[in-house]
């Protein structure tokens, strides 16, 4: 964006900017504590600061459940075991009681909503690793015994609500645990592999065209596993695609098994209705505040068109007025992501495109134009739905890294720029500030607030907050601390914990940071300034507010007079002080209230 266009934009909204007249609000001028949050029942989705956590990796408050189901529990025998604290792919003992015990740690950081990885009962072991992550569900009616009981989940939600914190469940409709095998790939007993695995560990996908020509698999359930799933209709092999493993492209992305996980036939009305009933029951029993939906891209859009409105309506009948849902659509293209908030009628999605832009701008040092180009597509998300609230980009869910792709700190560590630790710290903080203060709802990935780094994605990014016994975690150099993951890492004095608490405070204090319409006022083709305004009209709850947020992604200070020559406003906060008010320090941000 060039100088003229952003100048005219600001001129058009009636701003006069005199940099020398910027008044600087001291820290003391900010309220000492975060603005008092409205009661959770009344809060909007956009009011939340999310914390995304794998309960197994958080805190172990009950060692009696570490092995999962009791040894004499015949019904749940497959949900016993898989416990090995030194193996990154096994259960580590964290549980719902542990999360409950650590609620004050989250509360004090300004977390207002917790998103848990799936907590329903899993098959404990599949192909040499365990269901510690929760994505291998067998029983959609009860909590995995490694994590606790249904009663303990209710207690956790009660305790969170008493602290005015919402709880979101991570739900799956695409697949169940891997129980179904095929004669062609696994032999008549279904217990091994009989195909050539030299090309990878999979059962080749059979396309619709091949099916039409009579080619098909002969699915089977190994002896003894016929009634493992709950509700019972899930044990019927006809409710699955049975077309072999997905190779992640074309029709296989929707109809193939996710590495053997039994892929539900989500085009069948019985499956749509069955899944709607399962999650209606979950809402009725536990009264969560919302759902994060897994593997959305791997289910046909028609499924979501029925599922999403049905659950949103049901939650309302259960008295959860502001129930919300956001989907995981693993794509970096707003064109595709937005199909799920518009056509598929899911209220929101995780903004992978925002995450990708963070990598480009703060790891790869591309120009801040990358962000302007991203936000220029925000209108794709705009829609009006009959049963769910209208959607727009303000409801997207921002994140910097996650449990599949790895942490933002890992992207920095392995960058060819060879950032020293100081630079990694500054870039990590700035990425999180952009996550909080750009349009969209922020999600802190657990452990990021303690400087966790990791060696990559998936298992390598799922470190323990409690003292870890995993050697490949414990040899990491954590950022901004002398601790390692072998230590307890609930340090409320950690720089990142303190900084995120500050960001959360600002986010809650200024409604325009949550609801303000965003306009990009300055970007450039190299690292440097990126500036946005967040403007909101007066509402019954708050006055009109117009904020200017300036980020500096460069390693040298920048002059604000490149932004505009005249601004009259008040500096509300800046992350790094400079001698002059018309400068912005390297890798820092500042928030101004415009008059």
* 307-312: long-range pairs with CB below 8 Å, 24+: 307/173, 307/272, 307/275, 307/276, 307/279, 308/344, 308/345, 308/346, 308/347, 308/388, 309/345, 309/385, 309/386, 309/387, 309/388, 310/276, 310/280, 311/276, 311/279, 311/280, 311/283, 312/347, 312/387, 312/388
- What distance in Å separates the CA atoms of residue 131 and residue 151, rounded to the nearest whole number? 21
At closest approach, how far in Å is the CB of 174 from Ca ion?
5
CB nearer to Ca ion: give 65 or 438. 65
Name the 3-class secondary structure at 122: strand
CB nearer to Ca ion: give 62 or 101. 62
- What distance in Å separates the CA atoms of residue 337 and residue 381, rounded to the nearest whole number? 8
- The residue from 139, 170, 202, 328 that is catalytic is 328
CB nearer to Ca ion: give 48 or 245. 245
CB nearer to Ca ion: give 50 or 473. 473
- The residue from 95, 225, 294, 351 that is catalytic is 294
Tokens matching residue 108: 């004090």
CB nearer to Ca ion: give 226 or 565. 226
Is residue 328 flagged as an active site residue? Answer: yes
* Chain centroid, CA 102 distance in Å: 20
- What distance in Å separates the CA atoms of residue 247 and residue 207, rounded to the nearest whole number? 11
CA atoms within 13 A on the CB side of 569: 28
CB nearer to Ca ion: give 260 or 442. 260
Name the 3-class secondary structure at 589: strand
At closest approach, how far in Å is the CB of 192 from Ca ion?
13
At closest approach, how far in Å is the CB of 63 from Ca ion?
6
Residues that bind Ca ion (CB under 5 A): 60, 62, 65-66, 93, 95, 174, 178, 180, 260, 262-263, 298, 455, 472, 475-476
Asked whether 173 and 303 are in contact (CB, 8 A), the reply is: yes
Question: DSSP states of 225-283 as a string?
Answer: -TT-SBSGGGG-GGGB--S-B--SSTTHHHHSBBTTB-BB-TTSHHHHHHHHHHHHHHH
At closest approach, how far in Å is the CB of 3 from Ca ion?
46
CB nearer to Ca ion: give 62 or 582. 62
At closest approach, how far in Å is the CB of 294 from Ca ion?
11
At closest approach, how far in Å is the CB of 322 from Ca ion?
30
> Distances in Å between the alpha carbon of 44 and those of 108, 113, 167, 171, 322?
20, 11, 13, 21, 6
At closest approach, how far in Å is the CB of 75 from Ca ion?
20
105: left (phi over 0), alpha (psi -120 to 50) or beta: alpha
Which residues are marked as active site? Answer: 294, 328
């Amino acid at each position: 964006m060039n100088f003229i266009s952003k100048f005219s934009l600001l001129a058009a909204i009636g701003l006069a900017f005199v940099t020398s007249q910027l008044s600087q609000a001291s820290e003391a001028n900010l309220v000492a504590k975060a603005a008092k949050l409205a009661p959770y029942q009344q809060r909007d989705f956009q009011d939340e600061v999310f914390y995304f956590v794998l309960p197994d990796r958080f805190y172990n408050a009950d060692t009696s459940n570490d092995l999962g189901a009791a040894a004499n529990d015949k019904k749940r025998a497959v949900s016993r075991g898989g416990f090995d604290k030194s193996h990154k792919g096994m259960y580590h003992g964290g549980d719902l009681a542990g999360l409950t015990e650590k609620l004050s740690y989250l509360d004090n950081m300004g977390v207002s909503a917790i998103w848990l990885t799936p907590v329903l009962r899993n098959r404990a072991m599949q192909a040499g690793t365990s269901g510690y992550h929760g994505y291998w569900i067998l029983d959609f009616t009860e909590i995995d015994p490694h994590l606790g009981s249904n009663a303990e989940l209710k207690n956790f939600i009660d305790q969170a609500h008493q602290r005015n914190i919402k709880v979101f469940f991570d739900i799956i409709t695409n697949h169940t645990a891997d129980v179904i095998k095929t004669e062609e790939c696994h032999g008549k007993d279904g217990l091994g592999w009989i195909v050539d695995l030299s090309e990878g560990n999979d059962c080749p996908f059979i396309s619709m065209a091949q099916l039409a020509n009579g080619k098909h698999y002969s699915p089977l359930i190994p002896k003894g596993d016929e009634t493992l799933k709950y509700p019972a209709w899930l044990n019927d092999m006809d409710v699955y695609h049975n077309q072999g493993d997905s190779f992640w492209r074309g029709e296989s992305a929707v109809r193939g098994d996710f590495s053997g996980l039994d892929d539900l036939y989500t085009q069948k009305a019985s499956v749509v209705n069955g899944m709607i009933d399962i999650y209606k029951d979950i809402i009725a029993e536990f009264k969560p505040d919302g759902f994060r939906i897994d593997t959305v891209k791997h289910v046909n859009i028609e499924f979501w068109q029925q599922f999403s409105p049905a659950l949103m309506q049901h939650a309302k009948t259960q008295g959860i007025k502001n129930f919300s849902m956001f989907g995981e659509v693993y794509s970096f293209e707003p064109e595709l992501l937005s199909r799920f908030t518009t056509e598929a009628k899911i209220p929101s999605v995780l903004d992978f495109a925002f995450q990708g832009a963070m990598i480009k701008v703060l790891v790869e040092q591309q120009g801040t134009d990358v962000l302007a180009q991203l936000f220029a597509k925000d209108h794709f998300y705009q829609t009006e739905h009959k049963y769910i609230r209208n959607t727009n980009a303000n409801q997207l869910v921002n994140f910097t890294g996650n449990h599949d792709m790895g942490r933002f700190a890992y992207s920095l560590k392995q960058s060819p720029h060879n950032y020293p630790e100081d630079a990694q710290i500054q870039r990590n903080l700035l990425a999180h500030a952009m996550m909080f203060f750009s349009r969209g709802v922020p999600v802190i990935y657990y452990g990021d607030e303690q400087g966790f780094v990791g060696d990559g994605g998936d298992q390598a990014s799922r470190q323990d907050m409690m003292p870890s016994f995993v050697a490949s975690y414990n040899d990491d150099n954590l950022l901004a601390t002398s601790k390692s993951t072998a230590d307890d890492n609930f340090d409320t004095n950690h720089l990142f914990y303190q900084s995120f608490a500050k960001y959360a405070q600002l986010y809650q204090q200024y409604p325009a940071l949550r609801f303000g319409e965003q306009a990009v006022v300055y970007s450039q083709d190299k690292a440097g300034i990126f500036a946005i305004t967040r403007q909101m009209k007066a509402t019954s709850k708050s006055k009109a507010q117009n904020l200017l947020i300036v980020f500096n992604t460069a390693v040298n200070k920048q002059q604000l007079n490149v932004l505009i020559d005249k601004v009259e406003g008040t500096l509300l906060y800046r992350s790094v002080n400079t001698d002059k008010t018309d400068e912005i320090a390297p890798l820092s941000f500042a928030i101004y209230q415009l008059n």
